[in-house]
Amino acid sequence: MKIVRRILIILFILGNAGLIYYYQTQIKEPPQTISEANVTIVKAIEQTEAQEHPDFIKEEYQLVLPEGENVALGKKITASSYTQVYNAPKAVDGSVDGASYWEGKSDYPNTLTVDLGAPSKIHAIRLALNPLPIWGKRTQTLAVNISKDGENYTELVGTKQYIFDPDYGNEVQISFHEVETQFVQLVITENSGAGGGQVAEFEVYSK
């Protein structure tokens, strides 16, 4: 009985193998013809290097400083408050790297006041944060006051919300008609990126 079963299995296998061979060698698909009227020829553009879609190309930001000299660099500066090690002098040390920035406490309004040392004719202010992407896009609302004696201040630039964006250097430039003053004060009332105001460099320009 076992021998018969084995013979039947062998015959079954041989039969299947024969059918497979027959189909592979004898059965062929009929040739197909394609009408030229149904063919669309698309000419590929010449491309010698990798190309990127214009919508994904980010224009490189080019920093253009205000005209003149930054007369606030290294000058005496005070703040209404600061957090941890982020004190006021770091806003006029010429660096935006690492921990070199001032940050106020969340006790708005924060003020940051620089003494230019002598009356100076100024026409622009540049405020900068670290430009690295980790310093994400944020807004800060602030006004600019000036004083000749450090006691009595008048408003130079009214309260406005400014955008600090690492795609654009994380900087803001504020221009105005030339005015003579010795003390320049920022009054910050909002920062969407931290509890208090933040400035890595407080620059004041004189022609």
Cβ proximity of 172 and 162 under 8 Å: yes
Q: What one-character-per-residue DSSP string does 94-141 give?
A: S--STT-SEE--SSSSEEEEEEEEEEEEEEEEEEE---STTS--EEEE
SS3 content of the chain, % helix, strand, coil (to 5): 20, 40, 45
147: tokens are 């004083």
Identify which of 77, 128, 82, 106 has the alpha carbon closest to the alpha carbon of residue 189. Answer: 106
Residue 15, pLDDT score = 59
The predicted structure's pLDDT at residue 54: 65
Give the C-alpha separation, 66 to 123, whole Å.
9
Measure Cα distances from 124 to 67, 104, 150 in Å.
8, 23, 19
Give the whole-angstrom CA distance, residue 176 versus residue 121.
Answer: 11
**CATH architecture entry for 66-206:** Sandwich (2.60)
pLDDT at 17 (0 to 100)? 61
Structure tokens at 116: 């230019």
Provide the token pair at 164: 């600090």
The residue ranges of every structural domain in the chain are: 66-206
Return the structure tokens found at 206.
């004189």
Q: What is the reported pLDDT for 35?
A: 72
Distance from C-alpha of 137 to C-alpha of 115, rounded to nearest angstrom: 29
What is the pTM (predicted TM-score) of this model? 0.73
Question: What averages of pLDDT result for each successive group of 10 residues across the chain (207 residues)?
Answer: 62 61 59 70 69 67 96 98 98 97 98 98 98 96 98 98 97 98 98 98 98
